[in-house]
Chains A and B, each alone.
Chain A
Amino acid sequence: MQVRPDVLFSVANFPVTNAVAATIISDVVVVLFVLAINRVVSLEPTPLQNAVEMVIDYFIKITEEIAGERASFICPWVLSFFIFMLISNLIAQLPGFELIILKMPMSKSCNKVPLLRAASTDLNFTLALAVISVVVTHYLSIKCAGIKAYFTRFITFRIFPVFLFVGILEFLNEITKIISFSFRLFGNILSGERIMATMYGIFPLGLPLPFMLLEFLVAIIQAMIFAMLTLVFMHIMTDKPHTI
């Protein structure tokens, strides 16, 4: 079973994979979606604006509940993660998304490769989002709690060497966050994709339908989990560390 995405072609030494193609499609959809919203935005909302407002309002409220006054810094990031991940995951659930097959004589793995592949099934994509999430969390931590409080979280000589060890664990925790963020999303979406491919292979008429619904749910839930975890980590990191 191949885990890595297939390279479709290269542009100036940059390998354009089928996951990158799906990412670009997601980008286009996001931009069109934003433009569509921006054109109709008014105090008397259209049904589309209403739906988006509902989502944004939900995120604003939940961020304010968790992070309080720091919500204005945190919410745009959490919302961006959710919307981008949701759209890229949902696009991959469209029937026939991976059915456009290209014949690639230059491909090392096989001759036939799908033109598109879910962006979240590329570890580069999930890892990039995870790294951005963690780096932005640290940036907001310095911005909100101050640089001294930020470093105190990792290096402190109180009750030596207990808190020094706790600091090392905190540091390891940050690395673990990246790994858990990236592999959770990657694993869930990739496994869903493989299940769908298997179901299509067994009996394409009807059998994939319940799994499509399940994957549809997984796509939404994974985007939500990523956004919520980012929110919680940002809240924890932007909060001033508790002293004994």
Chain B
Amino acid sequence: MEITQKFGLEVKLFLFQIVNFLVIAFILKKFLYVPLKKILDERKSKIEKSLLESDSAKIILENAKKEKEKLLFEAKNNAATLIETARVSIVEAKKRAIAEAARNSERILDDAKQRAAEEFEIMNNQVEKMSIDVSKKIILRILSDLFSNDEKQKLISRALKKIDEKIKN
């Protein structure tokens, strides 16, 4: 036909082009489309997985935040309770310390009183002794002018005997 000759249509060339394209289509499908589709799918699933993981991480983070807030709240409450307890303890300790101090001061006062009484007793004895000595000396001085030595001795011994008796009594 004239038109096929004009356009150069030939069965052999036409079949060659068909076979050629089918081979190229096979190569493109087998070595380009399939591997790249696989890579694209893998990447897509990886991205989806990562997104899911990030979502779960977000949930975990939110839970952790809630947990943190809860713990902070509990800690604040505990701290307030502890402060209150400490305050009460301090007041009680203060009361105890004051009572203890009062007891100690009473004890010290009693001790001091007892010691003062003992000191007074000792002093009393010493004063008594000293007064006897002084009396002895006064008597000896007075009597030395009125009596002789023998009489003095007798009187002194007699007076001393009376004093001793009195002391003993």
Contacts and interface: CB of A to CB of B under 8 A. Distances in A.
A43 B9 CA distance: 46
A60 B40 CA distance: 10
A56 B8 contact: no
B32 A34 contact: yes
Interface stretch (A77-85, A167-175, A205-213): A77-85
A125 B17 contact: yes
A148 B122 CA distance: 142
A101 to B, nearest CB: 19
B40 A15 contact: no
Interface residues of A, number: 43
Interface string A41-80: 1110100010011001100100000000000000111011
B17 A52 contact: no
Interface of A is mostly: helix
A115 interface: no
Interface residues of B, number: 33
Interface stretch (A127-135, A193-201, A214-222, A236-244): A127-135
B33 A56 contact: yes
B27 A34 contact: yes
B40 A56 contact: yes
Interface in B1-45: 5-10, 12-18, 20-25, 27-29, 31-33, 35-37, 39-40, 42-43
Q: Closest 7 interchain pairs by CB?
A: A4-B8, A128-B17, A80-B25, A124-B13, A76-B29, A123-B7, A80-B28
Given A5-B8, A41-B36, A124-B16, 6 more contacts: A15-B10, A27-B23, A83-B32, A123-B7, A123-B9, A128-B20
Interface of B: 5-10, 12-18, 20-25, 27-29, 31-33, 35-37, 39-40, 42-43, 46
23 contacts: A3-B6, A4-B5, A4-B7, A13-B12, A30-B24, A34-B28, A52-B32, A56-B33, A56-B37, A60-B40, A76-B25, A77-B25, A80-B21, A80-B28, A81-B25, A83-B28, A84-B24, A123-B7, A124-B13, A124-B17, A127-B9, A129-B17, A129-B21
